[in-house]
A and B are shown apart, each in its own frame.
Chain A
Amino acid sequence: MHLPGYVNNVATPFFVTGDPMIYASDVLIVLTLVAIVFVLTYFKKWGWLWREWITTVDHKKIGIMYLIAALLMLFRGGVDAMLMRTQLALPNMRFLEAEHYDQIFTTHGTIMILFMAMPFIFAMFNIAVPLQIGARDVAFPYLNAISFWLFFFGALLLNLSFVIGGSPDGGWTSYPPLTEWPTDPGPGENFYLLALQISGIGSMATGINFLVTILKMRAPGMTLMRMPMFCWSVVGASILIIFSFPALTVALALLMIDRLFGAHFFTMLQGGNPMMYVNLFWVWGHPEVYIVVLPAFGIFSEVVATFSRKRLFGYASMVASIMAIAVISYLVWLHHFFTMGAGPGVNSFFAISTMSVGIPTGVKVFNWLFTMYQGRIRLKLPMLWAIGFIPNFAIGGATGVMLAVAPGDYQYHNSYFLIAHFHQVLIGGVVYGMLAGMYYWWPKMFGIILNERIGRWAFWVFNIGFYVCFLPQYELGFMGMTRRIYVYPAGMGWTALNLISTIGAYLMGIAFVLIVWQVLYSIRFPERDVTGDPWDGRTLEWSLPSPAPHYNFARIPTVTARDAWWAEKEARRRGEDVQKELRPLEPIHMPNNSGRPFILSVCFFIGGFGLVFEWYWLAILGGLGVMLCLLLRSLETNTDHYIPVEEIRRTEAALGRL
C-alpha cells in the first residue's frame, strides 16, 4: 500500500546488525547461554530444573520464578534507563542516534510496566496470598503455572527483538497512526503487540485465579473483614485486572489486525480513527497503574503494622479506600489526554474524578502514620523502604493532583514534569513496595534473612539517587523540556538539571548492584531463620516454618480474629491452651506437577514469533500446538494426588513442628 508522504517498507535484516553495542550483547547472550547449558549439564541439573521448577504448580516456587524474572527485567529496564540518561546528560550528545533512543525508551517503558512491575506484584501474590489466608495453594494451580509461563515467553519475545528483527520504537503507549505499518514498518512493533498480548492472557488468568482463591478458599473463620490487608489489596488489583485487561487485549488485537491484515481501525485513511486506540489503551492503562500500586499499598500495610508492633489503624477505612480507588480508577482514563480536544465539560468531569483518587489515597497515608503512632518502630529493611515510600508518595500524589487540574495539564502534558510524577509514584510506590515485600517475605521464601548492613546502604543510595534523579525533572518540565527527545540544544538552561538527573540515575544503578551483592553475600554467609517468624509477624504465613513445606499447612488453621497469628501468640503468652495442634493429621490433596503449561506457552511463543514475521505457517503451527495442549488437558483425569499422613508427619517432624 502506498500512501503519499510516507516512508515505505524497508527490508529489515533478520538479525539486528550495524551497531557495536548490539554485537557486544549478542556475544554476551551467547556466552551466557553456553555458560548456563554447561553448568546445568556439568552438575547434572537438567532433570532437577524440569522436575522442580519448570513443571511445578506450587505457588511458592512460581512466586520465586516471578521474582527472579522481575529482578532480571528490572536490570534490563534499568540498563535502558542508564543509556537514556547518558544520552541526555549533556546537550547535543552523540552517544545514541534517534532510532536507538526511540527503541530504548519504548522497551524501557514496556519492560518496566509489563515485565517488571507486573511479575513483581504476581511474585508477591503467589508468595503471600495462599499462606496468609490459610490455603494449600491457589484455586487453579495448573492455570497459575500457565500464567507464569505465558508471562515468561511474552517477556522473552519482547527481549528477543533486541537481537532479532529490531525493537519496537513507538513508545510504550504505542499510539497509532505512528505505529501503523506505513509509518512504522518492520517486525519491531509486532514484537510489542504479540509480547504484550501473550503475557496479557497470563495476567488475566492470574487476576481470575487470585480473586477466586481469596473469595472461596480462606481458612475457616477468616471472614473478609479478618483478612490481612495485603489480601484485600490483591482483591482490588484482581478486580481491576479482570475488568481492564480485556480493553488492552482489544487495543492490541485491532492494531495487529491493522498492521498484519491491512484493516483500518486506527489508520489515517479509509475512515480509521486513531483516537479509539488511545481510549482503549488508557481504559486499561489507568487501572493498570492501580493494579501495580494497590498491592504495594497492601505490603506497606503489612510491613508498617508488623514493624510498629501495632494493629493496622483504621482497617475498615483501608478496605474502603482500596475499593474506592479501584472503582474511581475506571472513571479517570481521559486525564491521559486532556489535550486531545474533549469539551470543557468532559475535561472537568475527568479532572475532578482524577483528583478524587487523592481522597482515599490521602486517607491511607494518614492511617499508616497513625499505625506507627504510639507503636514501637523497628527500622528493619522492609520498614525502611516503607518509611522511604511515604514522603515519596506524598510528593508524587501531590503532583498527581496537580496534573489532574486540566488547564495545568495543558502545560505539563508530555513534559518532564509528567515523567518525574509517574516515576515518583511508580518507583516510589511500586518499586519501594515490592522491595519492601521482597525483604519482608524473603525469609519465608528461602529461610534466610538478607544482610541488613548492605541492605541499608542500598536503601540510602537508592533513596538519595531517586530524589537527585527526579526532582530536577519537575523543573525541566516547567522549562519546556518534553519527553522522548533524544537530543536537546545548549542554551535552554536544561544542561545542569539534566546532568544532576543523570547522576541520580547512576546512583540508583549502584543501589541495584548493591542489592544483587546483598543477595549473593547473604547466600554465601546466610543468617538462617529457624523460627519461621523472624519479624514477630501478625499474619498466618509466619506461623509456618521458613521455607514453608510444599503443602503449606499440615492442618488448616481456624481463624478467630484479625491478625490471626498475633492473636494466637498473644493467647499463648497469656498461657491459654491452644487446642488445634491436637487435631489428627489427614491426607492432603495436592495437584500434580505438569510440563504442559510450559509446552503450551512455548506453542504460544512459536505462534507469536510466526505472526511477528508474518510467517503464517509457523503461526498456524503454534496455534495448533496450543489447541492440542488444551485438548490434552481436557482429557486428562489424573491431575492430583494425596500426600499420606505418614509423609506429612515425617516432614513436620523434620521441621521441628511435631
Chain B
Amino acid sequence: MQKTFDRRRPRAFPPAQWRRGLWLALPLLLGGCSPQVMVFHPVGPVGRTEERLIIISIVLTAIVVVPVILLLWHIVHRYRDVPGNDAPYRPEFSESRTLEVVWWSIPIVIIAILAVFTTRDTFALTRPPEKSTTPLTVEVTSLDWKWLFQYPGSNIATVNYCYIPTNRPIRFILTSNAPMNSFWVPQLGGQEYTMPGMAMQLWLQADKPGLYYGRGAQFSGKGFAHMTFDVHATSQADFDAWVKNVKTTSPPLTEDGYNQLAHPGLSGKLSYSSYPPNIFHDIIMKEGGMYMKHDRAVLESAK
C-alpha cells in the first residue's frame, strides 16, 4: 500500500501555528502590564493571594504545555512521510514502560504541588485577611438589576456604590432578593454568588485608596449588563466623614421604598440615612434561610 504517500515538500510545521500563537500572545503579555488588567493589579491582600496562585498555576502548567508544543513541532517535522527522510521508522514501537512511567509521573507531581498551594489558599481566603483590625461588615443584596449595600454598624444604605475604609478587612455578607447574581470586585479579589435565601460571606480588603470597578458576574436577566457598582476605598477618617454626610443629607429607606427598589429596573446611585431594621435578615429567612444552618451561622457571626 505505497500509493498514498504524500510526495509534496514538507511544509514548515506547527511553526505557523505556534508562531502565530506567540504573535498573538505578545500584545496580550504587554497588555498584562496595563492597569486595566485588573486581576493582575490587585490592591488588597485577597486579590494578591489569588494573583500569586494564578501565576503559580501558569508556571506549573507551562512545564507541560511548552515542551508538548515544542515536541510536537519537532516530531511532525522530523517524521514527515517524504521521500528521502532518513529518520528511523519503527512501526511496531508502541510500548515503553520507562517512558510511560515518566509521563504518568510528571503530571502527578505537578498536580500534587498545585494541590498543596490550592488547599492552603482556599482555607486562608475564608478567614479575615488581617487579624489585628476589627472588620467592617457590609450587607449586600442583589436586586433586579441593582446592588443594595447596607451598613449595619451605622444603619445607612446605598445603591450601586459603596465606601470602604482602607487597611481594614471588610466582611461582605451577600444575598439576593432576585435571581442569583455574583458579587465581583476584581481588583480587591475574587467573587462570590449572591443567592436568594442564602447568606454568603466574602472577605475583601483594600490597601490603597481608590475607585474600584465592581460588577455582577452571574447573568440575571435583561438588565444584567448594567449591573455595575463603584467601590470607593478611602482612609478611615474619610470613610467616617462620608457616613456622617450620608446620615445627615440622605432620606431614609422605608419598607415601601425597599419594595420599589426590588421592582425590576435600573437605578442610579442612591444613598439612605437609615433602613428598616432586620430587612436583610428577614428576606434571607423568608426565602429559605430558615432551613439552613449555614445561613444562621453566618448571620450570627457577623453580629
Contact = CB atoms under 8 A, between A and B. Distances in A.
Interface in B85-134: 85, 87-96, 99-100, 103-104, 106-108, 110-111, 114-115, 117-119, 121-123, 125-126
A341 B199 CA distance: 9
Nearest to B34: A493
A183 interface: yes
A460 B12 CA distance: 14
Contacts of A177: 179-180, 196
14 contacts: A102-B222, A344-B123, A366-B103, A369-B71, A407-B122, A408-B57, A410-B190, A460-B16, A467-B24, A471-B28, A480-B39, A480-B184, A535-B4, A569-B1
A463 B21 CA distance: 11
A510 B126 CA distance: 48
Contact of A394 (B53, B69, B221): B69
Contacts of B225: 98, 484-488
Contact of A407 (B106, B121, B177): B121
Interface string B1-33: 100111000010110111011001100100110
B49 interface: yes
Given A5-B264, A351-B122, A312 B94 contact: yes
B64 A480 contact: no
Interface stretch (B149-157, B158-166, B210-218): B210-218
Contacts of B121: 407
B287 A268 contact: yes
A119 B285 CA distance: 45
B53 A408 contact: yes
A413 interface: yes
The 5 closest A-B pairs by CB, nearest first: A410-B190, A493-B36, A178-B179, A398-B61, A311-B94
A405 B121 CA distance: 9
Interface stretch (B72-80, B244-252, B271-279): B72-80
B221 A183 contact: yes
Nearest to A411: B190
Interface string A362-377: 1101110111111111
B231 interface: no
A405 B114 contact: yes
Contacts of B259: 4-5
Interface in A344-390: 344, 347-348, 351-352, 355-356, 358-359, 362-363, 365-367, 369-380, 387-388, 390
Given A359-B107, A375-B89, A406 B118 contact: yes
A375 B79 contact: yes
Nearest to B2: A536
A468 B47 CA distance: 29
Given A410-B191, A411-B50, A477-B39, 20 more contacts: A5-B143, A99-B222, A175-B179, A175-B218, A183-B144, A183-B179, A275-B198, A315-B94, A339-B192, A351-B122, A369-B68, A374-B88, A377-B76, A387-B13, A387-B14, A401-B61, A405-B53, A407-B53, A411-B190, A480-B215
Contacts of B17: 388, 391, 463, 467
Contacts of A178: 179-180, 219-221
Contacts of A274: 180, 195-196
A43 interface: no
Contact of A475 (B31, B91, B197, B294): B31
B239 interface: no
A401 B13 CA distance: 27
B197 A268 contact: yes
B262 A5 contact: yes
Contacts of A272: 288
Interface in B23-70: 24-25, 28, 31-32, 34, 36-40, 47, 49-50, 53-54, 57-58, 60-62, 64-65, 68-69
B24 A402 contact: no
B200 interface: yes
A308 B92 CA distance: 11
A486 B227 CA distance: 12
Contacts of A592: none
Given A5-B144, A275-B195, A376 B79 contact: yes
Given A309-B81, A317-B104, A535-B4, A405 B93 contact: no
Contact of B28 (A343, A475, A493): A475
Given A183-B221, A406-B118, A407-B50, A378 B81 contact: yes
A401 B76 contact: no
Contacts of A352: 111, 115, 118-119
Contacts of A358: 107, 110-111
B223 interface: yes
A410 B144 CA distance: 23
For the side of the interface on A, what is the size category?
A: 35 or more
Contacts of A315: 94
Contact of B100 (A183, A314, A355, A487): A314
Interface of B: 1, 4-6, 11, 13-14, 16-18, 20-21, 24-25, 28, 31-32, 34, 36-40, 47, 49-50, 53-54, 57-58, 60-62, 64-65, 68-69, 71-72, 75-76, 79-81, 85, 87-96, 99-100, 103-104, 106-108, 110-111, 114-115, 117-119, 121-123, 125-126, 143-144, 177-180, 182, 184, 186, 189-193, 195-198, 200-201, 213, 215-225, 259, 262-264, 286-288, 291, 294
A339 B91 contact: no
A160 interface: no
A33 interface: no
A472 B180 contact: no
A6 B14 CA distance: 55
A488 B223 CA distance: 12
Nearest to A475: B28
A533 B4 CA distance: 10
A362 B28 contact: no
A351 B25 CA distance: 27
Given A355-B115, A391-B17, A414-B182, A533 B195 contact: no
Contacts of B85: 376
Contact of A411 (B6, B90, B191, B287): B191
A474 interface: yes
Interface in A158-191: 170-171, 175-178, 183-184
Nearest to A337: B193
Contact of B80 (A343, A373, A379): A379
Contacts of A533: 1
A534 interface: yes
A643 interface: no
A478 B42 CA distance: 11
Nearest to B121: A407
Nearest to B87: A374
Interface in A234-279: 268-269, 271-275
B38 A464 contact: no
Contacts of A569: 1
B107 A407 contact: no
A329 interface: no
A362 B64 contact: yes
A395 interface: yes
A651 interface: no
Contact of A341 (B39, B61, B125, B192): B192
Contacts of B100: 314, 317, 363, 367
A359 to B, nearest CB: 4
Contacts of A483: 219
